[in-house]
Amino acid sequence: MRTTTARPVKVGFFPLDRQLQLGPHCWSRATAEQAIRLAVEIPSYARAAKTFQDLTKIAISASSMQRLVVECGSQVVEKQAEEAEATSRVPDRSEEIVPQAWPKPDSSVMSVSLDGSMVNIRGEGWKEVKVATISAVGADEETGEVHLGRHSYRAGLWEAATFAKQQWAEAWRRGIQRAKEVLSINDGALWIWKIIALCYAPCIEIIDWWHAVEKLWAAANPILGQGQAATMAWVERQKSRMWQGQLRLLVHHFRELAPRGHPIPGPVWGAVSYIYANRRRMRYDLFRQAGYPLGSGAVESGCKLVVIERLRQAGMRWSRPGAQAMLALRCVLLSERWSSLWYLSPQPT
């Protein structure tokens, strides 16, 4: 009989456990770590190579810098894939389940948000990078204002099914299964809420406030006129109703944009359908009373930090392996786990 654990022991990332030969030079792990970190942080391999040379007086080309990133990042990608499969695998009946301690969460209330951002892949065009942000929910001791902090990230060029496993591995690592409450704040994308239902039900599902407000503007602008005083006044009235959780009254007032006896305009119908489909996720009055945050800024900032600042600068195009390697390394760095890549052990001679 094979033996398995109920959940796997934390998978560490231990790439570069040997010296690297780049051209005529043999690099130590410490030197490689400095070069890779600069390449991951600075939005250009050429600029990163120049900065490294200025700081260390060691010459390196942009192509060698890229090679370092791809070699290290590809190993992290492989480890992340193993971790994702291990945390989501269901043991078969022949395996003995050995319980183990769950990771401890950073807060009794944890949040998970999902989103996507586009990257230009050579030979494929613009492809979506799916991003997960796991956060601890806290409150300011003086003001009581609710905020999200201690963010960690998982991102990749994955289909939804693969991403579901990857984001769950990151959530498991953060101890989300031991949290007293789990929140999920997102836009209305169906693929996102399918993953949330699969992995976190029951949890507190919230439509990001500003995405909901955008639906009001999308309905009003084509009919009342963009930038018109009547448009702004109408949106402000509906925002107040939505803030108070008066969704029935809100939908009723959409009739102002669709007089009886006339076909309902497409933008109005779209907004009403959106509100109806997400009505249980838009009870902002109840969410505020419970002290829950209402915005998905954490994952939107995550998209900017992880993806846009490094992989979507002017004119950038990436190979798929190169983009995935960079994404994996940026997630580790921005999740403040960079030191886990560079464990201390005897260097090979």
* Cα 237 from Cα 336, distance rounded (Å): 43
Are 255 and 285 in a shared domain?
Answer: yes
159-197 confidence digits (pLDDT tens): 999 999 999 999 999 999 899 999 999 998 999 999 999
**pLDDT above 70 for 25:** no
**pLDDT above 80 for 232:** yes
Q: Identify whether 171 is part of a domain.
A: yes
* Cα 33 from Cα 27, distance rounded (Å): 10
98-129 confidence digits (pLDDT tens): 666 778 888 899 999 999 999 999 999 999 99
Q: Identify whether 113 is part of a domain.
A: yes
Mean of per-residue pLDDT scores for the chain: 86
Which is more confidently placed, 11 or 252? 252
Are 139 and 177 in a shared domain?
Answer: yes
Are 135 and 190 in a shared domain?
Answer: yes
Are 190 and 140 in a shared domain?
Answer: yes
Are 8 and 48 in a shared domain?
Answer: yes
Are 15 and 88 in a shared domain?
Answer: yes
Give the number of domains in the chain: 3
Domain of residue 135, CATH code: 3.30.420
| Residue 145 burial (CB count, 10 A) | 11
User: Which of 200, 189, 173 shows the shortest CA–CA distance to 299?
Assistant: 189
For residue 185, what are the domain limits?
A: 109-208+299-305
* Cα 198 from Cα 2, distance rounded (Å): 28
Q: Identify whether 79 is part of a domain.
A: yes
Q: Identify whether 311 is part of a domain.
A: no
Are 151 and 184 in a shared domain?
Answer: yes
**For residues 130 and 158, is the Cβ–Cβ distance under 8 A?**
yes
296-338 confidence digits (pLDDT tens): 777 788 899 999 999 999 899 999 999 999 999 999 999 999 9
Q: What pTM value is reported for the model?
A: 0.85
pLDDT at 343: 58
* Cα 306 from Cα 154, distance rounded (Å): 9
* Cα 181 from Cα 108, distance rounded (Å): 7
Are 218 and 285 in a shared domain?
Answer: yes
* Cα 193 from Cα 177, distance rounded (Å): 18
Q: Identify whether 273 is part of a domain.
A: yes
pLDDT at 98: 65
* Cα 79 from Cα 241, distance rounded (Å): 48
